[in-house]
Amino acid sequence: MKSFQWALAVVGLALGILLSFQFRITRDIQHTESVQRAQELSAQVNQMKKDYSALQAQVDTLRTKLDGATAGIGPLSPDLKEELEKAKVEAGVSELTGPGVEVTLNDSNINIRPGENPNLYVLHDEDVLRVLNEIRAAGAEAVSMNGQRLLATTEVRCTGPTIVLNRNKRLAPPYVITAIGNPDTLENSLKMKGGVAETLQFWGIQISVKKMSQVTVPAYSGGIKFEYAKAAV
């Protein structure tokens, strides 16, 4: 009986020592820097999730209000609605129609003689830019090229035999530029003596300008994002 009690006491003592040792290890682990950092990051992630959910709810509410205002639902004054439509037009996110011109550009059809530089007889981004700048200077109110709306931030650059605009829209000739404005003024700006059309035609570049009583310039279909620019207060 006494030996059993001694054995039981030894087992109890050993178990107590093991539990104490395990407790100390667990406590030390919880207080290590890496574990504390992980716990802090986990708490931050959980807080950010809550903040994101709250902000998303605000975005959804504001978007609903904006959609309602755009559709004419709710207390929207005629002046505010007119300003909203004007802003959409100026931003290029509205399809527009009106009189204007249709300008078609294509590479030269001249047979290149041996030794001549073939780059002189193909369209480059600078050629297209000259045409665009000319019609904009002549008062074009809206411009598109091959169905792509051009904005103030639109770039035109060569990538091999094609041109890229609006960051990722790759276009190949012929390039059809549609512009809304006074048809006579737009045509004369391109066809003036010593102007863009005459210079391009010297190298055989094909350019035609057609006056139209009605043309359509589509709305800009890409995303608009300002990373650095903010409204001045």
How much is the CA Rg of the chain, to the nearest whole Å?
Answer: 35
Written in H, E and C, the secondary structure of 213-228 is EEEEECCCCCCCCCCC
The answer on pLDDT for 26 being more than 70 is no
pLDDT digits (tens, 9 = 90+) for 153-207: 888 888 878 888 888 889 989 999 999 999 999 999 999 999 999 999 988 899 9
Q: Which CATH class is domain 96-217?
A: alpha beta
Domain spans in the chain, listed from the N-terminal domain onward: 96-217
Query: Distance of alpha carbon 108 from its chain centroid, rounded?
Result: 33
pTM recorded for the entire structure:
0.65
The answer on pLDDT for 5 being more than 60 is no
> Residues of 177-187 as b/e, b for ≥16 C-beta within 10 angstroms?
bbbbbbbeebb
Count helices and strands in the chain by DSSP H and E runs: 6, 8
The number of C-alpha atoms within 13 Å of 7 and in the hemisphere containing its C-beta is 4
